[in-house]
Amino acid sequence: MSLADISFLPEEPAHDTEIDEINAEAFGPGRFARAAYRIREGGPHERTLSHVAVKGGKVVASVRLTRIAAGAGRGLLLGPLAVRPACKNMGIGKKLVRIALEAARESGASVVLLVGDEPYYGPLGFTRVPRGQLTMPRPVDPDRLLAAELKEGELKKLKGMITHAGLVSEGPGESKRGANVPA
């Protein structure tokens, strides 16, 4: 099997069960305790920006993007990115990240964040977020909080606690759950 055998498609509701299986396989039950998952609990991901890799009619990998907010900034959180073990080390994950970044750029997003390994994501355009600039609802190794700035100067607008953008009103500093209450 090679990358040429894989189709990359926008995510559809029909893919949900297979995506859930891939994420369970990749991250196990501990995935629900992760900081990024806590943010994603705040609302739906952006299905129109999320993609799957399909081989022979079966989903073998997926990546999702979720709208986030922190301070005056808005962006997208990439993840989970998961590839079935039999399909790893073929470039599928990296291709999905490139597709996700292009979809984010085309949607007008200014920044894409993720929690991941810089050696993997760095060549795809991600760099470490400056220490202390952002926090997550659960502890995260600050060296693993990475960003791809799609519009120059926009990363600095993201400050403080990262939350699902659906929980934040457009008014200054007010959350839909109440004033200044993190998700």
- Token digits of residue 129: 């977020």
Q: How far apart are CA 159 and CA 181, in angstroms?
A: 15
Q: Give tens-digit pLDDT for 49-67.
A: 999 999 999 999 999 999 9
Give the mean model confidence (pLDDT) for residues 104-129: 97
In this prediction, residue 28 has a pLDDT band, given cuts at 50, 70 and 90, of: confident
Residues 17-28: what's their mean pLDDT? Answer: 89
The per-residue pLDDT for 78 is 97
178 pLDDT higher than 80:
no
Is 133 within the bounds of a domain? yes
CATH number at residue 156: 3.40.630.30
Whether the pLDDT of residue 93 is over 70: the answer is yes
Position 158 in a domain = yes
* 173: in domain: no
Asked if residue 171 is part of any domain, the answer here is no
Task: Check residue 51 and give its pLDDT.
Answer: 98
Pair 33, 138: CB distance under 8 Å = yes
- Contact status, residue 23 vs residue 82, Cβ threshold 8 Å: yes
Instruction: Specify the range with the lowest mean pLDDT, choosing from 29-33, 110-114, 161-165.
Output: 29-33
Contact (Cβ atoms closer than 8 angstroms) between residue 92 and residue 6: yes
Q: What is the pTM of this model?
A: 0.88
Q: Structural domain tally of the chain?
A: 1
* 8/180: higher pLDDT: 8
Q: Which two tokens stand for residue 124?
A: 């795809």
Residue 25 counted as domain residue:
yes
Does residue 178 lie in a domain region?
no
Q: Does residue 177 sit within a domain?
A: no
Residue 151 scores a pLDDT above 80? yes
pLDDT at 170: 60
- Domain containing 149 equals 3-166
* Phi and psi at residue 135, to the nearest 5°: -130, 160
